[in-house]
Every structure is written in C-alpha cells, then in structure tokens.
Amino acid sequence: MKVVFTTILIAVVVIDQLSKATSSTITLNTAGPFSIAISNTAATLVATTLLLAVALAGTTLRQRLHQTQVTGLALIIGGGVTNLTDRLRFGGVRDIGQIATLTFNLADVAIALGAFLLVGWALAKREQSQLSDGQGK
C-alpha cells in the first residue's frame, strides 16, 4: 500500500507541475480553491492545516485502509502538496483551466476526485453494512 500511495502522490505533483510548466494560459489564483474569495494568507493556512490533518489521519490509519481510501487520500494529499508548493513559491496557485467563473488546475481535479472516491467508498461501505445486517430495503 505504501508504494501505491507514494506513486499516486508523486504522480499528482509531477503531472500538475508539468501541466503548469507547459501551459500557455496560466492564471495566478491568490484566492482559495476554484477561485473562492479568501485571502492568500487564509488560503495557505487552511490548505496547510487540512493537508497536515489528512496526512496525519492517513499515516495513522493507512495500514487499515482499503485500496480506494489509500488512492483517495493520495490524490488529496498530492493535490494539496502541489498547490501549497505554488502558494509558497508564487504567492498563489497557478491555474490552467476555467469553467464559467471557476479557475482550476490538475491538483484541484485530483483533490476533488480523491474526495469523491472517499465519499463514494464510505457510502458503498455503509450500504453494504446495512445489507449484511438485514437493514437494507
């Protein structure tokens, strides 16, 4: 599991940073994720705190986690690491895409996908538990 976790985390960082290095349309986002209006200092503090909390939880529980959970955590932490790196190096996150008024980068996509995996896994596990307990519909 450690190899899978590390490989996904590193892949997210490398792919995100390469996409930014080769993009011709970079926007420096000093707001929060997806351009949510908060100060850069607050965004960095929130990102760092969340990243450390997720990393601590993942490290503590990693031996007991399902492969889907490991993948989700690696995506979230990898995205957090690369966005935090941007904030520290450039004073904001470098975004390469835009949908409507939301700007984003591949790290944001990885974070959202990781969250989706974790929530989906938890809901599936809950449903499976209810069915095995005879509480299913």
Catalytic residue (one of 16, 86, 108, 133) = 108
Question: Which residue type, as a one-letter code, is found at position 46?
Answer: V
95 carries an active-site annotation:
yes
Element (H, E) at 66: none
The three-state (H, E, C) secondary structure of 11-40, written as one string: HHHHHHHHHHHHCCCCEEECCCHHHCCCCH
Joined together, the tokens standing for residue 56 give 């601590």
Active site residues: 95, 108
